[in-house]
């Protein structure tokens, strides 16, 4: 029998490796930027076109490469960063696998210009699908510029698999954020389709965070600092009132490398326990320094997972450091019933006499003068009302009464959460005794053959879901005008999402006005969304949208309808009065699909007389 086994040619092996290293344009961005950091650059420029599909270029002013190194850098397992297996446990660089450039060059057109400082002339190298097509001497600035064009040009399946430019661009932005946050000592610039998105000069950790996420971040940050033998922690947590429904501003850096760690995330989350609403996430930017010998980064090619020698200790230290900061900055509520009230007087006031408070009047105050929006101050991102647009109250009165009818059919859900969900006028329709609520969770009702047990939450989600979808497809948005527009703040990344979703949100009934780069004013709401929940509802929508990664308009509507119905529906535990129970049951059976919730869970079960009889036997 013959021998069949052959070694794969290099370019094939590289393509296979590329499958692991390069999932999408953002992976290329990460690898190139990390190489630039490793090269000791002080300035790194990222230039991207069409979500990275046409061009990704990283220009650095680092150490550059000799002509031989330039050529070698594209070979697989070629690296200057480790020499032996022991070095793996002494890593001080981002890269070490020597795979990135070889992988990228196997699936794209790569153009590299590089020159070490001490040389006069540099090298220009062009590679297409692992083949060197040109190498020449060139005049180029110190450092390295690598342009990656037409990613996946030779793997159509992968190229087709890429998401829309917007989605790919969002991933790139995330990657850029991570590298820029990890290295505040380096200047970063980011251009997309010829417009400058970020211009981040070398600065401190805190300023870098603010420059990336907007100046309003400043008031949110609370420093965290802890130094032990095992780990040195510094960075910031966001005050509890700024915690969000969306994950996104959670960053761990271990030895300046962004990592994902559900375990450490849990430690931070645990420290916030009791201070934030359930299912919301605190923001944090935590930089951990540990002995390189105590971690193993080698477990995933993209290197965002790390194995720690002593995870448990790290967990405990992190949790207590975060708790300490929360306490130190008086963010944790304190209840002390034993305390003598008389001791509460601040020292500075103790010996002062009380005097009658005076009234200060501003004679120049003009109540008709247009007042500008109240911004800044404490109180967080939500619920800051502005008085702008109060005139609309009157304009709106007329149109409201004409819309009354349209509202009445929708009206009851808007109050559903509070339990009493029927206007008194309709009370005559009560047909009591036909439904009752079981354990604040199920609605039990009779049918001819026996009884139905309906999950109230799922039923309500179904009803809402169909209503939202209907509004969106008919583009007939019912909107409840707010007397006082609510102003909300978002990070630039979130603002991007809001802009992308603007049309959809409008058909849902949100009337949104973009006020500035980081603020929106909400002037109208879908009638079913309680104003109190506005902030958290939008947070959820943004979070779901970012996770979903879809650019298809239909599935976007579907996703939004789902997210919205989930966040405003009645929950298990909510008490419903008999009228609301009945209304919900009727609405449910008026739905196109009444068996399954929007999330494909059964909504009700039946118990027939037969089955009941059987149980008595
Ligand atoms: P790794 O980073 O794991 O070593 P890469 O394939 O990313 O592997 O890069 C291979 C080698 O090419 C690096 O070890 C480094 O010596 C060199 N190199 C890559 N990018 C740069 C750059 N921007 N400046 C200087 N040298 C670079
Ligand atoms: Mg590398």
Over the stretch 456-514, which tens digit does the pLDDT of each residue have? 999 999 999 998 888 888 777 778 888 888 888 888 888 888 888 888 888 888 999 98
Contacts for 196-203: CB closer than 8 Å, 24+ residues apart: 197/173, 202/42
SS (H, E, C) 120-170: CCEEEEEEECCEEEEEEEECCCCEEEEEEECCCCCCHHHHHHCCCHHHHHH
Interatomic CA distance for residues 267 and 272, integer angstroms: 9
CB 287 within 8 A of CB 319: no
Neighbour order of strands in the sheet with 511-514: 384-385, 480-489, 519-525, 511-514
Query: Which residue in 591, 475, 100 sits closest to 303, CA to CA?
Result: 100
pLDDT in tens, 258-285: 999 989 999 999 999 888 887 788 999 9
CB 26 within 8 A of CB 172: yes
Best mutation site among 95, 96, 127 for ligand 1 pocket (most ligand atoms within 8 Å of CB): 95
Q: Residue 562: what are its φ and ψ, rounded to 5°? A: -65, -50
Beta partners for residue 451, in sequence order: 446, 607
Q: Verify whether ligand 1 is closer than 6 Å to residue 73 (CB atom).
A: yes
- Give 597's DSSP letter: -
Q: Verify whether ligand 1 is closer than 6 Å to residue 45 (CB atom).
A: no
Q: Which two tokens stand for residue 143?
A: 């450092």
Query: Which residue in 23, 58, 30, 25 sits closest to 175, CA to CA?
Result: 30
Interatomic CA distance for residues 57 and 239, integer angstroms: 37
Q: Which two tokens stand for residue 450?
A: 């026996």
Interatomic CA distance for residues 488 and 54, integer angstroms: 35
Interatomic CA distance for residues 26 and 172, integer angstroms: 4
Mean pLDDT rounded to a whole number for the chain: 82
Residue 35 alpha carbon, nearest atom of ligand 1: 20
**Is the per-residue pLDDT at 222 higher than 90?**
yes
- pLDDT for 494: 85
- More confident of the two residues 4 and 124: 124
Q: How far is CA 245 from the centre of its chain?
A: 8
Q: Verify whether ligand 1 is closer than 6 Å to residue 60 (CB atom).
A: yes
Q: How far is CA 192 from the centre of its chain?
A: 21
Q: At what angle do helices 456-474 and 578-589 cross, to 10 degrees?
A: 50
Q: What is the pTM of this model?
A: 0.67
Lowest mean per-residue pLDDT among 43-57, 59-73, 130-144, 523-537: 523-537
CA 594-596-598 angle, to 5 degrees, is 105
- Strand 187-192 and strand 43-49: the pairing is parallel
Residue 62 alpha carbon, nearest atom of ligand 1: 24
Q: Verify whether ligand 1 is closer than 6 Å to residue 142 (CB atom).
A: no
Question: Which stretches of 156-290 are DSSP H helices?
Answer: 156-161, 165-182, 205-213, 262-271
Helix (H) or strand (E) holding 362: none
Interatomic CA distance for residues 406 and 408, integer angstroms: 6
Q: What is the mean pLDDT of residues 45-54?
A: 96
Q: Which residue has the tokens 């105050």?
A: 365
Query: Hey, CA dihedral for 357, 363, 364, 370, is it positive or negative?
Result: positive
Interval between CA 100 and ligand 1 midpoint (Å): 8
pLDDT band at residue 248 using 50, 70 and 90 as cut-offs: low
- pLDDT for 374: 38
Q: Whose CA is nearest to atom 19 of ligand 1?
A: 35
Interatomic CA distance for residues 209 and 235, integer angstroms: 10
**Is the per-residue pLDDT at 376 higher than 70?**
no
**Percent of the chain at pLDDT exceeding 70:** 82
- pLDDT for 397: 39
| R_g over Cα of the chain | 30
- pLDDT for 333: 52
Residue 58 alpha carbon, nearest atom of ligand 1: 23
| 75-79, 89-93, 388-392 — most confident range | 75-79
pLDDT band at residue 340 using 50, 70 and 90 as cut-offs: very low
**Is the per-residue pLDDT at 366 higher than 50?**
yes
**Is the per-residue pLDDT at 54 higher than 90?**
yes
Q: Could you give the 3-state DSSP secondary structure of residue 313?
A: helix
- More confident of the two residues 577 and 336: 577
- More confident of the two residues 427 and 241: 241
Contacts of 229 (CB under 8 A, 6+ apart): none
Q: Which residue has the tokens 């070698």?
A: 72
CB 112 within 8 A of CB 136: no
- pLDDT for 491: 83
Interval between CA 95 and ligand 1 midpoint (Å): 7
pLDDT in tens, 404-463: 433 333 333 333 333 444 444 333 343 445 789 999 999 999 888 888 999 999 999 999
Interval between CA 80 and ligand 1 midpoint (Å): 7
| 134-148, 247-261, 339-353 — most confident range | 134-148
Interatomic CA distance for residues 57 and 34, integer angstroms: 13
pLDDT in tens, 527-568: 878 888 888 888 888 888 877 666 677 778 888 888 888 888
- Strand 284-290 and strand 250-254: the pairing is parallel
Q: Which two tokens stand for residue 291?
A: 């002995």
**Ion ligand 2: residues, Cβ under 5 Å:** 35, 95, 100
**Is the per-residue pLDDT at 614 higher than 50?**
yes
Contacts of 615 (CB under 8 A, 6+ apart): none
- pLDDT for 67: 95
Interval between CA 199 and ligand 1 midpoint (Å): 25
**Is the per-residue pLDDT at 1 higher than 90?**
no
Q: What is the mean pLDDT of residues 127-140?
A: 94
Q: Which two tokens stand for residue 233?
A: 């922690």
CA 114-117-123 angle, to 5 degrees, is 25
Q: Verify whether ligand 1 is closer than 6 Å to residue 100 (CB atom).
A: yes
Region class of 605: left (phi > 0), else alpha (psi between -120 and 50), else beta: beta
Residue 98 alpha carbon, nearest atom of ligand 1: 8
Q: Could you give the 3-state DSSP secondary structure of residue 519?
A: strand
- Give 63's DSSP letter: -
């Amino acid at each position: 029998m013959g021998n069949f086994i052959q070694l794969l040619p290099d370019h094939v092996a590289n393509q296979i490796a590329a499958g692991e290293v390069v999932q999408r344009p953002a992976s290329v961005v990460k690898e190139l930027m990390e190489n630039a950091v490793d090269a000791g650059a002080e300035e790194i420029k990222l230039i991207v076109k069409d979500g990275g599909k046409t061009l990704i270029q990283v220009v650095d002013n680092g150490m550059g490469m000799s002509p031989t190194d330039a050529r070698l850098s594209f070979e697989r397992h070629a690296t200057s960063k480790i020499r032996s297996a022991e070095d793996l446990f002494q890593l001080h660089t981002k890269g070490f696998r020597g795979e990135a450039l070889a992988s990228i060059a196997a699936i794209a057109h790569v153009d590299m210009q590089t020159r070490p400082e001490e040389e006069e002339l540099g090298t220009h190298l062009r590679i297409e699908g692992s083949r060197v097509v040109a190498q020449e001497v060139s005049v180029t600035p110190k450092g390295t510029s690598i342009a990656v064009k037409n990613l996946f040009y030779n793997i159509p399946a992968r190229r087709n698999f890429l998401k829309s430019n917007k989605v790919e661009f969002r991933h790139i932005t995330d990657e850029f954020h991570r590298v820029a946050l990890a290295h505040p000592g380096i200047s970063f610039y980011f251009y997309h389709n010829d417009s400058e998105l970020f211009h981040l000069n070398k600065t401190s950790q805190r300023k870098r965070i603010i420059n990336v996420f907007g100046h309003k971040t400043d008031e949110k940050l609370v420093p965290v600092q802890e130094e032990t033998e095992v780990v040195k922690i510094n960075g910031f947590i966001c005050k509890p009132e700024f915690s969000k429904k969306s994950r996104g501003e959670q960053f761990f850096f271990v030895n300046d490398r962004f990592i994902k760690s559900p375990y450490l995330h849990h430690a931070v989350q645990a420290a916030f326990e009791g201070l934030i609403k359930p299912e919301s996430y605190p923001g944090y930017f935590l930089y951990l320094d540990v002995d390189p010998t105590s971690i193993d980064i080698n477990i995933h090619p993209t290197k965002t997972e790390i194995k720690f020698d002593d995870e448990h200790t790290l967990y405990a230290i992190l949790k207590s450091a975060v708790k300490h900061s929360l306490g130190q900055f008086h963010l944790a509520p304190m209840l002390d019933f034993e305390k003598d009230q008389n001791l509460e007087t601040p020292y500075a006031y103790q010996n002062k006499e009380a005097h009658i408070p005076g009234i200060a009047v501003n004679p120049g105050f003009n109540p008709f003068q247009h007042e500008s929006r109240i911004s800044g101050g404490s109180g967080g991102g939500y619920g800051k009302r502005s008085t702008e647009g109060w005139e609309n109250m009157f304009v709106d009165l007329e149109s409201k009464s004409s819309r009354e009818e349209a509202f009445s059919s929708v009206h009851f859900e808007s109050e559903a959460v509070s339990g009493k969900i029927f206007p008194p006028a309709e009370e005559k329709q009560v047909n009591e005794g036909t439904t009752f609520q079981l354990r604040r969770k199920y609605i039990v009702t009779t049918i001819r053959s026996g009884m139905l047990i309906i999950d109230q939450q799922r039923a309500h989600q179904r009803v809402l879901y169909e209503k939202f979808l209907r509004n969106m497809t008919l583009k007939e948005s019912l909107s409840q005008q707010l007397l006082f527009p609510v102003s909300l703040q978002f990070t630039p990344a979130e603002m991007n999402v809001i802009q992308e979703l603007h049309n959809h949100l409008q058909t849902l009934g949100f009337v949104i006005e973009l006020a500035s780069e980081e603020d929106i004013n909400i002037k109208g709401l879908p009638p079913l969304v309680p104003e109190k929940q506005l902030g958290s509802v939008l947070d959820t929508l943004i979070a779901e949208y970012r996770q979903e990664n879809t650019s298809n308009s239909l599935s976007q509507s579907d996703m939004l309808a789902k997210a919205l119905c989930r966040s405003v529906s009645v929950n298990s535990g909510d008490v419903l009065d008999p009228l609301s129970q009945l209304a919900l049951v009727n609405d449910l059976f008026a739905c196109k699909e009444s068996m399954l919730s929007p999330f494909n869970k059964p909504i009700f079960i039946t118990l027939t007389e037969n089955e009941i009889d059987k149980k008595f036997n």
